[in-house]
Chains A and B, each alone.
Chain A
Amino acid sequence: MILINRSSVAYRKFKDRLFYFMVVILSLLVTVPLVAIIAEVVVKGYKQINFSFFTEVAPTTLDAMMAKESGAIISGGIVNGITGTLLMVAAASIIAIPIGIMGGVYLYEKPKGFLSSIVRFSTELIQGTPSIIIGVIVYAWVVVPLGSYSAIAGSVALAIMMLPLIVRSTEETMKMLPGTLKEAALALGGSYSSVVIRVLLPSSFHGVFTGILLSVSRVMGETAPLMLTALGSSVVNWNLENPTSSASLLIWEFYNDPNLADLVWSTSLFLLMIILVLNITAKYIANRAN
């Protein structure tokens, strides 16, 4: 039997190297799922992406079944999903961006107050709330009173999910601004509101904008809360009071319908590309500012 001297320099160096290699290998393994997911979505999805993909509504099960039997590519697209996502994300942004930015400015102005501490606590609580619960409460707040599933209900749910990110990024970015900036602006005779609107917010634009992009990219892929609020629709809908589909809801529908399974990948590819581009843009802006 070979005796190993556990405190020898050689043994300690060996253990150190071994640990280093394990860290590197395990870290690199983490990139595998990302590559695998993107590869699968691209390989299986690109075939279906053509002109009609962006101009036609989702096909019915029957149409898809007939196309499959004759060996043709399933006709139809996801325009009802694209427009639904656009409509709801736009409406959610209109609700969430002003409230989020002003809430963030308030927290920056009064960092220590009692109200600030409970607002900050609320923001963290909302951020940690599972998206399905947001769906449940918006169902009670909007769907039940209006008597039907609607795009506005979906927008409210998405807006609530966007809020915490926008509040936090606004507050954090403004905190990084040098205090002299605000003092200088005030010393020049700027009123409080014009100092905030014309000096402080523009100087923290990169951070606020990054926060908005990230929150948009996060809610764009949300499915669970929309199932309880916007429901889905087989036609293009621009009316906030009607049920509406979204790209993510269409993925869920296609997933549940074996005849439409081919479309699931192209829809995922479309959604994934938009979200990744938003993410990378956000990161680029944040990095350039630093």
Chain B
Amino acid sequence: MRDRIFKAFLLISSLAILLVCGAIFYSLFTDSMEALKHFGVAEFITGQEWDPNPDSETYGALPFITGTLLTSFLALLFCIPFSLPVALFNGEYFKGKKIAIVLGSIVDLLAGIPSVIYGLWGFYTLRPIIVSLGLSEQGFGVLTASIVLAIMIIPYAASLSTQFISMVPTDLKEGAYSLGATRLGVIKNVIFPSAGSAIFASFVLALGRALGETIAVTMLIGNTNNIPLSITDTANSMASVIANQFGEASDLRLSSLVAIGLLLFVITGVINYIGKMIVKRFN
């Protein structure tokens, strides 16, 4: 009897997880219906105006989609030249050594810092640097947000690729050494070819992180509803526009914000799924 109750609890808990996930999708879908019906799905996605003025009310998601994609890909670009060396440092050069464990822990701690503190640091330390370099007047914008975002996703990209690099079979590497390869040769001709797809996947998953990052981006991107034309432009990401305007929004505007949430949910879901699939195939 106790066993049956216990098993029922296990089942109920896993059904609850399933239910939460289904309900997230359902709620986002039903609450964004008003906006999607009013504008049409394609028109909403490609709409360039975000105008809350009651007389000419019209909402389009394109500026925020561009803002999100631009900041995230830029962040990914900035993060690769640092996370790949960390992965080689921890997974190949100093694999299992004390210094690798120390560096690994430091990188992990970087993942623990709250997003809002990254935002503060970006605002008080990075933004003045951007201003003094003359890149933009106020220091806000896509570039500032991307740099902070890059630092935030380094831990994810680095720790995942470290795992995959250290999984490359030793006999393959020894084979290459016995043929006279240098360490660089082994990395280029053995490690990258055999773990390349998984390393790629870890960057895809890091991108998934960057896409949804909210508060740090909100503090740094400048919060303007235009399509960013250069990397020093101010903009808004999908997450930051929700964070900025959700509290004051109602009716059609609220529904449009939820629709942006739905789009973001789908985009991050697809990106994460692709990353996970590549990892699964690698294993």
Contacts and interface: CB of A to CB of B under 8 A. Distances in A.
A124 B272 CA distance: 9
Interface in A25-67: 26-31, 33-34, 36-37, 40-41
A16 B107 contact: no
Given A34-B110, A122-B20, A255 B28 contact: no
A106 B8 CA distance: 10
Q: How large is the interface on B (under 10, 10 to 19, 20 to 34, 35 or more residues)?
A: 35 or more
Contacts of A28: 103
Contact of A103 (B5, B14, B125): B14
Contact of B13 (A23, A26, A98, A194): A98
Contacts of B142: none
B54 interface: no
Contacts of A278: 112
Which of B3, B20, B261, B276 has the most C-beta atoms of chain A within 10 angstroms of its own C-beta?
A: B20
Interface residues of A, number: 84
A34 B107 CA distance: 8
A224 B114 CA distance: 11
Tell me whether chain A's interface is mostly helix, strand or loop, or mixed. helix
Contacts of B212: 128-133
Nearest to B158: A30
Contacts of B219: 255
B21 A271 contact: no
A132 B237 CA distance: 12
A152 interface: no
Interface in B174-206: 182-185, 187
B46 interface: no
A165 to B, nearest CB: 12
B114 A33 contact: no
B169 interface: no
B271 to A, nearest CB: 8
B199 to A, nearest CB: 14
Contact of B24 (A34, A106, A129, A276): A129
Contact of B17 (A99, A109, A276): A99
A259 interface: no
Given A125-B269, A191-B2, A193-B2, A255 B16 contact: no
Given A20-B183, A31-B106, A130-B212, A221 B13 contact: no
Interface stretch (B58-66, B228-236, B238-246): B238-246
A92 to B, nearest CB: 13
A196 B6 contact: yes
A109 B10 contact: yes
Contacts of B123: 255
Contacts of B6: 192-193, 196-197
Contact of B114 (A19, A22, A129, A223): A223
Interface in A118-147: 118-119, 122-126, 128-137, 139-141
Which of B82, B85, B121 has the most C-beta atoms of chain A within 10 angstroms of its own C-beta?
A: B85
Given A125-B21, A126-B21, A30 B107 contact: yes
Contacts of A19: 183-184, 187
Contact of A23 (B9, B93, B121): B93
B113 interface: yes
Interface string B113-128: 1111111110111000
Nearest to B186: A16
Contacts of B7: 192-193
A197 B28 CA distance: 37
Contact of A126 (B9, B20, B105): B20
Closest 4 CB pairs of A and B: A130-B212, A221-B114, A122-B21, A193-B6
26 contacts: A12-B182, A16-B182, A20-B93, A20-B183, A24-B89, A100-B13, A105-B10, A106-B10, A116-B14, A122-B17, A125-B272, A126-B24, A132-B212, A132-B214, A133-B212, A133-B261, A135-B246, A137-B27, A139-B246, A163-B17, A248-B116, A255-B116, A268-B116, A272-B117, A278-B112, A279-B109
Interface of B: 2-3, 5-7, 9-14, 16-18, 20-24, 27-28, 31, 81-83, 85-86, 88-90, 93, 103, 105-110, 112-121, 123-125, 151, 154, 158, 182-185, 187, 208, 211-215, 218-219, 239, 242-243, 246-247, 257-258, 261, 264-265, 268-269, 272, 276
Given A36-B125, A133-B261, A197-B6, 8 more contacts: A13-B182, A99-B16, A115-B18, A123-B17, A133-B24, A167-B17, A191-B3, A268-B117
Interface of A: 12-13, 15-16, 19-20, 22-24, 26-31, 33-34, 36-37, 40-41, 98-100, 102-103, 105-107, 109, 115-116, 118-119, 122-126, 128-137, 139-141, 160, 163, 167, 191-194, 196-197, 217-218, 220-224, 227-228, 248, 251-252, 255, 264, 268, 271-272, 275-276, 278-280, 283
